[in-house]
Chain A
Amino acid sequence: MAAGWRLVGGWLAAVRGRVGGAKEPRVDSVRRMSVAVRGSGLWKRYGSGQTQVDALADVTAEFGQGRFTAIMGPSGSGKSTLLHCLAGLDKPTAGQVFVGDLDITRLPEKQLTHLRRDRIGFVFQAFNLVPTLTALENITLPLDLAGRKFDQEWLDTVIDTIGLKDRLGHKPSELSGGQQQRVACARALAARPDVVFADEPTGNLDSRSSADVLAFLHRSVRDFGQTVVMVTHDPTAASYADRVLFLADGELRSELLDPTAESVLDTMKQLDATAAAAG
C-alpha cells in the first residue's frame, strides 16, 4: 500500500518535472495498525536557477498513531520544512500529505485552517503564546476558536500533567521559558489532535526545563495515546522518542528504532562520516 503511494507520489513529481532521479535508500517505517500522518513523495523547492534549493527532495514517511517520532539532521536539512508541510502550514511543491485518509495538499485555505485547529497541534521553538491571554486561555484557544465545548476531564488531565495548575491565571510574560513551552504543549494537546508537531520545542531551554517538556510529550504518547512528531538537535531529547528519522539535504537518510542518546549520537557520527566522504 505504502509502496503504491510512493509510486503515485513519484509519478506526480515526475509529471511536474521536478524529479532528478529517484534517491535511495528509502527508510521503511515500522508497520502499525493505523497511520496518523503520511507524507508521500514530498518535494519542496525554493527559488530558481542559481539560487534554487530543494529543501525537501522526495521524502516519504509515515507516522503511526500513538507513536513519538523525532526528526534529526543538520541545520538546513529541511526538518522544519517537512514539519510545516506535514502540518498544513506550507504547501509542498510536489507530493501529498495525508492526515488520516484526508489528502491535505488539496484542501482550500479555509478547510486547512480548520484542520490545523481541530486535528493538528503545533509547538514552535519560541513565541508560542498569545501575550494578551492567560496560560489557561492560551491552552483553550484552539477550542475557543472552533467554538467547541471542551472535554473538561481531558483538559484537567492535560493541565495536571504539565504541572502548572497554580499558574493558569498568569500571562505568558509572567512565566519562565520552560513553563511557556509546557503551556504551548498543553495547548497543542487540548483539542485532542490526530498529531502534535513540535519544532525544537526545547531549543531555547536549559536541560531541566527540557526534561520537563520532553517528559510531558512522552507521557502524552505513552499514557494518552497521542501522536507526536518532534524536530530536535539534541540526542537526549531524541532518546525520549520511539523512533528517530535522520534527514540530510532534504532527503531521509536513516532511521533508528527505540533510540538511546548513545545510539543517536552514533548514527549522527556515521552520517557525518558518509557526508564527509561524499563531499
Chain B
Amino acid sequence: MVRLGLRSVLAHRSRFVLCTVAVLLGTAFVGGAMVFTDTLSAALKKNFSGSTADITVTPVDPVGVRTGRPATLTSDTVQRIAAVPGVAGANPELLVRDVQILGADGKPTETYGLPTYGGAWPRDAATAPFRVLDGRPPWGGSQLALDQSTASREGYVVGDQVRVVTGTEAVTAELTAITSPPLSGPAAGAPLVTFDPATAQLLLLGEPGWTSVGVAVTAGSDPATVSQAITKSLGDNVQVRTADQVAAAGENALDDAFGGYSAVLVLFAGLALFVGAFLIVNTFAMLVVQRSRELAMLRAIGASRGQVTASVLVEGLVIGAIGSTLGLLLGIGVAAGIRFGYRRLDLSIPDVALQVHPGTVVACYLVGIVVTVAAAYPAARRAGRFPPMAALRDEVALPERSLLFRLAIGGFMLLMAVVLYLIGVRARGLTGAVLLAFAAAITLLGVVMTSPLVSRYAVRALMWPFGREAPVILGRRNAERNPRRTSATASALMIAVALISGLLVIAASAKASIERDITDAIGTSELVVSSDDPATFSPAVADRIGKVAGVESVHRVRQQQGKAGDRTVQVSGVSDGTLDGPITAKLDAGSLDGLGGGQALVPRTLAKTLDLSTGETFDLTTNTGRHGLTVAGILAPNRQLNAIVVSLPTYASIGGATTDSVLYVDAAPGASPAGAIRAELKDYPTIQVRDQQAYVASARGPVNVALGVIGMLLGLAILIAILGIVNTLALGVVERTREIGLLRAIGMDRPQLRRMLRVESIAICLLGALLGLAIGVVFAASVQRVMVDDGLSVLDVPVPQLLVAVLLAGAVGVLAALWPSRRAARLDVLRAIATE
C-alpha cells in the first residue's frame, strides 16, 4: 500500500502542486519564525554571559513596571554594601533608558527599535557594565561619552558637540570618550550615552540615586556566601544576585519575551495551515473521485477497506513530508535573510550562527504532516468505502454521504455560538470580548459545516446580476455542482475575510473612539505638548512656552505608574487649574476641592474594583513606597486622565519626578502660537507641539501600525485561500476535461470558456467574502459594544473599505481563474473528448 501511495503521488504530481505549496507556506512560516526568534534570542543571551560584577545588587521595584522614574538605591546603601565582609569593592552604577541622542542634523538617531540608555561613568573599570575604548572620562554638564556604534553611525568623533535629550533635560556637550555599548543585561548592545556620575544623576534621574551596585568579592570568597551576607545586611528592599543568577534571570526574561513572540507568529502560521487544510481536503476529495474506478478495482481484486484507506493516507503523508521539508528550508532561508539584513544595520548585537533547534525541525514536520494527513483523512475513508462493484460500472456515481450528519454538528456548533454570544454580550469588558471571539470562531466552524446546504442558493443569488448568458449559466452550475467542494473552497476565504473585516471594523472603531475620547477629554486647550521618547521632559519647557507671545496659560501633567491593591495604575499630578477647563473632568461623585488638600481623584473603574467612595482612604504604592490617599472624587472615564489624579505638590510627596509628561496650552483669544512655540523649542527635537487634530492623529498611529502588522500576518492566510480557489478550479478543469472538449466542439469559443471559469471563480470568491464579511462585521460590532467602556466607545463600520474588500474578492476571483482557464483554453479539443 505504501508503494501504491508513492506511485500515485508521482503519477498525479501536478495535481498535488498547490497542495504542497499550501503546506510549504504554512510550515515555512512556523520554521522561519522559530529559527529567527531562536537566533535572535541566542544572540542576546550572549550578553548575559558577559556580566562583569561578581554580585549585582538592584533595588526591588515596588511597582514592578518599568515606566517613569526607575527605583533607585542611595549612596548610603552603597556604603553599607561595601562594609559587608568579603566585599572587595562596591561600585554604584546608573543606567536609565529612554534617552535620545541627536544626530549632527538635530534629529534623533535611528536605533532600529532599541531603546537608548543613559548611564554614569564607572568608578571602577573592572565592574563597569561597559568598556572604555578611547578618550578621557567626561566631566561636568558639558562633557559626555558615546558608544562606538552610535558614534560611528552618526559620524561623531572625540571633540564634537553632541546634543542629548533625557527625561529631565536636554543638553549639548562635548564628546570626550568612546565606550563600548553596555556589555550585559537588558541594555546590552543598545546605544549608550554616559556622563560623570553627578551629572548623570541630575540629567537622568533629576535627583541622587543609583540603579544598581556592582560588587567585586575579595579573592577566595564565595560569591554566593557574600551575596547572602549582603541580603542579611540590607533586608528585603534589594535584590542580590550573583553573576550566574543575573545571567539566568536575563535568559529567562528573554525566553519569556521571545516565547511570546514565537507563540503569536506560530498562531498565525497555524491559521494559515488551517486555511490550507481546506485546500488539501478538496484536492484529496477530487483525486479520490477521479480515481474511484481504480480504487474500486483494488477492492475488487482483494484489497481491504483499510488498505485502500491507508494507500490514500500514505499519499497525504508523502505530500506533508515534502511540503514540510521545503517549508522548513524556505523558513530557514527567510530567517537567514532577515538575520543578514539585521547584521547590515550595524547594531551591536552579538553574532551567533543561525539556530535551527531540533525542536523547530520536529515542529515543522509534525505540523505539516499532521495537518496534511488529517485533511486527507475524510477522502481516504471514503476511498475505502467504494464498493468493489463500482469498478465494473461505467460511471461511478458516488452516493454522497448525506449532509444530515454535518448539518447536525454544524447546527449544534451554531447553537453553541449563539449561547456563547449571548453570554459574551452580557459580560462587559475584555471577558466579553474574549467570549465573543470564541463565539465567532465556533460560528465560522459551524458555517463551514452547514454551508454546503446553502451554497447552491447563495451562489444562485450572487450570480443573478451577471445575467443569463450561456457561459454564465454554465459557470454558475459548475459552482453549484459540488456544494461540498465549493463551500470548502469558499470557507477558506471566508475565514480569512472574517478576520480581516473584523479587524478593519475594530481598528476603525478604535480610531473613531480615540478621536471622540480626545475631543471629549480636551477642553479649552488649543495645543498639546508631549514628547515621544523619552516620554518626559524638563519643567523648563513649560516655563519657556509660558513666555511665548500668544500663550495665555500652560498646564502641566506629570505621570508615573503605581499600584493600588494589586492593580497597576497610572498616577497623574496636575498643576492648578488644569481640570477647570483645559481638561474636561467630569465627576461621578465628590468634587475637585480636595485636590489642593492632598486628596486624590480616582477613576470610576478603579473605584469599582477597590470599592472606594468619596472620603475613604486607600494605599497607593509608588517607587518610594506606600502612601495613604483620601478620595476626593470619582472621575468619569476620561482618556487624558485615566489615572489617580493628585495636585503637583502631592505628586511630588508620593515620589513623583519633577519632569512633565504632557502640557496643555491655552492660547490667547485670536492668537495661534504653535509656530512660535515650535521655534522656541527647537533645541528639544523630541518634543511635539500639536493641535487637537494632530494630537488625535498621533494617538491613532499605533492602531495603524497594529492594523498593518496583523494585516500582513493575515495576508498569508488570504494568499493560501486564493491558492485554494486556483486549486479547485484547476482540478475541476482536469476533472471536466471531456466536458470542456464537448463544449469547444459544439462551438464555445475560448473567451466564453474563460468566462465560464471566471464566473465559477467569482461565485466562490463572493460567497466566501460575503459570508466572512457578515460574520466579521457582526462580531466586531458586538465586541465594540462590550468594550464600550474599555477604549472602544464608538462603533465605526468602514463601509468604503469593506466595499473595496468585496470588490477585491471579485477581482481575486478573476485572477484566480486566469491560470486554470488558460489551461482549459489550451486543451486540444479532440484529445479532450477522447479522455476517459
Contacts and interface: CB of A to CB of B under 8 A. Distances in A.
A141 B473 CA distance: 10
A90 B832 CA distance: 12
B752 to A, nearest CB: 6
Contact of A145 (B478, B481, B742, B752): B752
A141 B830 contact: no
B354 interface: no
B750 A133 contact: no
Nearest to A125: B833
A175 interface: no
In terms of DSSP, what is the predominant structure of the interface of chain B? helix
A242 B331 CA distance: 72
A132 B469 CA distance: 15
Contacts of B744: 113
Contacts of B471: 145
Contact of A110 (B478, B481, B750): B750
Nearest to A129: B742
Nearest to A146: B747
B748 A113 contact: yes
Given A124-B833, A144-B470, A130 B747 contact: no
A132 B474 contact: yes
Given A84-B830, A132-B478, A147-B469, A118 B747 contact: yes
Given A89-B830, A144-B470, A147-B469, A122 B752 contact: no
A193 to B, nearest CB: 10
B749 interface: yes
Interface string A65-92: 0000000000000000000100001100
A117 interface: yes
B749 A130 contact: no
Nearest to A84: B830
Contacts of B739: 127, 130-131
A187 interface: yes
Nearest to A130: B739
A137 interface: yes
Given A89-B745, A110-B749, A142-B746, A130 B474 contact: yes
Contacts of B750: 109-110, 113
A90 B752 contact: no
Most B-side CB within 10 Å, residue of A84, A109, A142, A144: A144
B742 A113 contact: no
* Interface residue tally on B, bucketed by range: 20 to 34
A173 B396 CA distance: 12
- A137, A145, A187: residue with the most chain B Cβ atoms closer than 10 Å: A145
B604 interface: no
A179 to B, nearest CB: 16
A114 interface: yes
Contacts of A117: 746-749
Contact of A122 (B473, B474, B745): B745
Interface string A139-176: 00110111100000000000000000000000001000
A127 B742 contact: yes
B397 to A, nearest CB: 8
Nearest to B744: A113
Nearest to B835: A127
Interface in B611-656: none
Contacts of B833: 124, 127
Contacts of A144: 469-470, 473
B428 interface: no
A173 B477 CA distance: 15
Contacts of B748: 113, 117, 145
Residue of A89, A113, A146 ringed by the most chain B CB atoms within 10 A? A113
B745 A142 contact: no
Contact of B749 (A114, A122, A133, A141): A114
Interface residues of A, number: 29
B481 A116 contact: no
Contacts of A187: 746
A122 B747 CA distance: 10
B469 A141 contact: no
A93 interface: no
B458 interface: no
A132 B477 contact: yes
B830 A130 contact: no
A127 B738 contact: yes
A236 interface: no
Contacts of A132: 474, 477-478, 480-481
A84 B828 CA distance: 13
A113 B474 contact: no
A116 to B, nearest CB: 5
A128 interface: yes
B473 A137 contact: yes
A146 B746 CA distance: 11
Nearest to B748: A145
B752 A130 contact: no
A124 B477 contact: no
B829 interface: yes
A128 B397 CA distance: 18
Nearest to A127: B738
Contacts of B829: 89
B745 A130 contact: no
A141 B746 contact: yes
Contacts of A114: 747, 749
B743 interface: yes
A130 B473 contact: no
Nearest to A131: B739
Given A89-B829, A128-B742, A132-B478, A113 B470 contact: no
Interface in B728-778: 738-739, 742-750, 752
Contact of A141 (B470, B478, B480, B738): B470
A142 to B, nearest CB: 5
Nearest to B395: A173
A132 B480 CA distance: 9
Given A117-B747, A118-B747, A124-B833, A130 B469 contact: no
A184 to B, nearest CB: 9
A38 B747 CA distance: 20
Nearest to B740: A130
A214 B684 CA distance: 98
Nearest to A191: B747
A142 B746 CA distance: 6
B470 A124 contact: no
B745 A116 contact: yes
Given A116-B747, A124-B742, A141-B470, A90 B477 contact: no
A182 to B, nearest CB: 16
A84 B273 CA distance: 48
A130 B742 contact: yes
Contacts of A131: 481, 739
Contacts of B747: 113-114, 116-118, 142, 145-146
B223 to A, nearest CB: 81
Contacts of B469: 144, 147
A187 B739 CA distance: 15
Contacts of B746: 116-117, 121-122, 141-142, 145, 187
The 6 closest A-B pairs by CB, nearest first: A117-B747, A132-B477, A144-B470, A113-B749, A116-B747, A145-B470
29 contacts: A90-B830, A110-B749, A110-B750, A113-B747, A113-B748, A113-B749, A116-B745, A117-B748, A118-B747, A122-B746, A124-B742, A127-B738, A127-B833, A128-B742, A129-B742, A130-B739, A130-B742, A131-B481, A132-B474, A132-B480, A137-B473, A141-B743, A144-B470, A145-B471, A145-B747, A145-B749, A145-B752, A146-B747, A187-B746
Given A113-B747, A132-B480, 9 more contacts: A89-B830, A113-B744, A116-B746, A117-B747, A131-B481, A132-B474, A145-B749, A146-B747, A173-B397
